[in-house]
Structure 1
Amino acid sequence: MSAPVHPLPRNTLFYSVEYPGYLKDLSSVPIAVKNLGGQAALDAAFKRTASKSEAQTTLELKLRPNNPFAHPISGEVVPTTNLVLKVVKRKRKNRMELDDGIIGEYTAEIVGTTSKTVRFRSMADFQYQPDMNDPVSKLRVAMDNLDVDAIRSYTIPPEKADYMVPATQDTSLDTNIDPALTGVPQPEPNPEQPMRSNLRLFPPPLFSRQGFPQSYQFKANPASIETSVVNEETGEERKRLINKMRWKGYGPAAITFTDRLVPEKPPQSVQDARSQVNDALCKKLLGLFEERPVWTRAALFNHITALEARDVINSKLLLGTVCYVFTDGPWRDTLVKFGYDPRKDPGARFYQRLYFRNANHPIVKPSVASRRQERTVANMDNWAAAIEDGSERDLERRKSHMFDGKTLTKETAAFQMCDIVDPMLKEMIEQDDDLREACDERDGWYSNAHLERIKTVLRHKFFSVLEGIPATDESCRQLLLASEKVPSKNAKDLSNLRTVRLKLGKHNMAKGALRPEDAAAIRLQAQIDKNRAAARANEQG
């Protein structure tokens, strides 16, 4: 038996609204239409086509239409193919027939179809109700009602410090009136009485842009596992969630100067991939760290062959297996042997790293891809040239991390103390009569004055070699004398500069270096003194 066929009425179209509220009877319909913005807003929403933007196919429902601070609920006009039914219920007048369980008779008739429907499926925004007696609230109401007199009479109320008031205090008084003039006694502050905020805050047009809720399904993240973590200082054990799917790096463990302990072994991710490491090369690196516990990358690569250096760079695991790194302090960006703490060994002053930029070569930031490509091509060219040229080119490469005061190896000054072999600088570095009792975050084991003298001479010698005229020890001594005769004002500024605490960051590399203009002034003064001395010698001769 097939279902009966009912024809659809022609040219009978309706628009519908899925109103998210109770409509008790026909008397509630005008209120619902008013909350939707009126009949004009409904007509405008249904007349818009779907080809226009989403903002033009929305309809706002204001559950509190007279409150300007109440955020409306947004509804969307969507195309539908629903049927409009006319349902008629007939009740029997004979009460005796109700015993059969039949309460009434229902008849349904199709009167048309709905081509568009307004649906309110998005979440309601957060609501915040400010004090409507506040002058700003009154101004907002006046602007909505185009009340010119109220707008012109608005004045900015004086700022008061009553940001916290007792929870029972009535703040409905006009805030334009000084409380001292109202005659209302002000309560004394009571620390035991609960307080509430009295900040004159007004809500923004929108609190949340999240229109639809996330589908959490009340399930935990399957990629998170619960682990136990022990605080190194207090020994307290805590539970925390770890994302087991997160990316695991294979680089060396990194610590800051303020960290209390140094790593004793590689990170767990490196230990798990230990089988992928070249054992022969790993043993060679461990042997180098036994000879010298702190290295720069350039110095370490210069003590192995070019092919081995390429394997270390490509492996990503070798350095993380044998050392850790400091991200700041006197040993910044150096590779340190596991378990060795240079902050506790005064002999580690020879491994401190000095760095200053060449002011004539400004810092540029090329793209990551181009920087990687240029670096890779340069490294491959250097290694290939070293292999082809044999021992002579390889010998030059092995000394590129050292500074002798005569040979230019690179345009950026970044040397460890032990790699500076210039006689004058070496003598200053090996002096032990001006050391600190405790390691300093900026100057390491050297005193500030002595480290500044070393930097001054190194900077002068490096830039002199960079210009093609190596500096003499005599010119360096004159430069030191000139730097000691800096006016008191500049000396005070420099002393203040030394007390500024360094911030962690990749650009904080010129630690303790003078500003370029100060360094240029000192070099100029030294050159003037040198010229004067030469002129006197010529006159006497």
Structure 2
Amino acid sequence: MASLQSTESPSYDDTQPGTDTRSRDASSPATSPWLHVSSQAVVSVEHPCIIKNIDKGIQSLGGEMSLSRFLKSKENNKTIGVSLRPDDPLAKRVISTSVKTNNMLLKITVPRRTGRKRKRGSSGPFLAQSEFHQNGALNKRSSSTPDGPFVDAKVIFRSVRDNEKNYQVESVSFIKETHRFRGLPDFQYATSQNPLTQAIRDYLIPLDYEKLKAFPLNTKPGINLHPDIGPPPAFSQTVIPFNYMYRQNTHVKYTTDPLSGQRQIWNAARRVPDSILEVPFNVESVPTSTTVPLPPEHTLKPELRAMIALVRAEFEKRPINVRRHLYNTFGWDVKERVRVSILYVAYCFGTGPWKGALIKIGVDPRKDPKYRHYQTMEYRTYPRIETKEPDPDGEGQESRIFDGLTYVRAGTTYQACDVTDPLLRQILDVEDIRATCSAGGHGWYHAGTWAKVRVIMRDKMCIFLEGGTPDNAAYQRILSLPEIFTDDGAWSTKETIDMPEHQRILMKSVCELAREPVEPVDRAQGGKQKKGDAVDDLDWSEEEGFFSDSDEDGEEYTKNGLLESPGADVESHAGTSDDENDEGAVEVEHTARDLC
């Protein structure tokens, strides 16, 4: 803190400054000594830096002239600025805050230290500096010397404590005005490389007329599209520091990796990511470990670690699962724990025959045909109106099973091994499968096999939604269809058959689904498709004569499937209804389309 003496008259009248004007009684007990106080006004400036050089301290406040004008000013809220780079006239200053105080400036005189030392607590003689070193004691001198102009505060306090009867206190003056620097300094801008500020520093600030005339001005004709305007006068408008009340996050934990020994930081309150590790169907090799950013298992809660062990054991018994199977196995009350445990154990394909399935990490279902039993089929049902009544089919062991007798609406993804309908099992248990896996299409099954299962299963679901019971006799002709559909096979087994409308639509759906290319490569090689008003308007190689005209007496079929059925529409295979049942007919129509 620097004290500056002002030449202005004192604001109070004291004929004899520092003199006690109260009467004293000789018989009164002894009192503390009275000090004489000068009436000269003193302005205190709490400089933010440690002043070791008085001249540099005054220069940082603007110099003697600026400081003199500041002391003579009669303003009530006068301020002064301090520059941390006094040699740079363009450096931004830190402005002070004026505070009215009622302090006293004291001058304390203590005996000068001789520099001799002795061990603390001992009664030995004081030794000189060199003698003290020879005795093996450490001599850590302060950065300041007693003979220098600046003495550390701890040295003064030590001197006062060691000379409690030999120091002198003298009152210098009152301090009624104090200037403190508590505001935040503004962002400093380095102007040494800026042409405009460099020109201002060289030509304007010296206040020399000859240099002022030489100030470089842009005299080029036209508008300067990119003028140099220099830095703004201020970057920040916040001068009061904000108390952030920083506290360490109680949920942040520090652990040590048992394998690498490195220190790890993790947030116990952070929610585990929802997304499971997903890979494309044509990836060369499946992941052997998850790459999802997850907390280490040893840092999880005991109940969650136990659930991970149970889920991992379930994947050992069944390497490919669906979420509903795991929720039904472990209970819907621990659904959140199961969801998190899956992230540590499984991955999934984005598309393909195992879409929507959870696959054990390290297992590649494309390498072994035994994994065809875990291929998935997704069906979308027509959304019902939401009610407040609980759904009894939403949670249960049988919600993932399709037995052909009932339909649980909560299940939308089925695995081939969970289809227990005897009619569909007869198709799925066929020995004629693909030699290689179609990772982006029907998996290990032929297109015809997969089409028959999907069409029959979809039709049964539609009948269940209408409140009816499916008849397996309507699907017997579909069972006779081959596993592979080709044009040559269709023409070689051509025959005319008369069958009910419902069976005709099912046959047509199987043929179209079996011949529809599902992979990008197959779609490119399958020929051009023309979009029409109905499903039967698809154009598959008409130049080869695949489609033929129908006779007046009947329709032309082959043992391999339907060749042509004019006017058929897969979306309306549930039939029409009277006007009284129009609403139900519309729902069935949407259900059939959404299940496709």
Q: TM-score, normalised by structure 1?
A: 0.44
Larger helix share, 1 or 2: 1
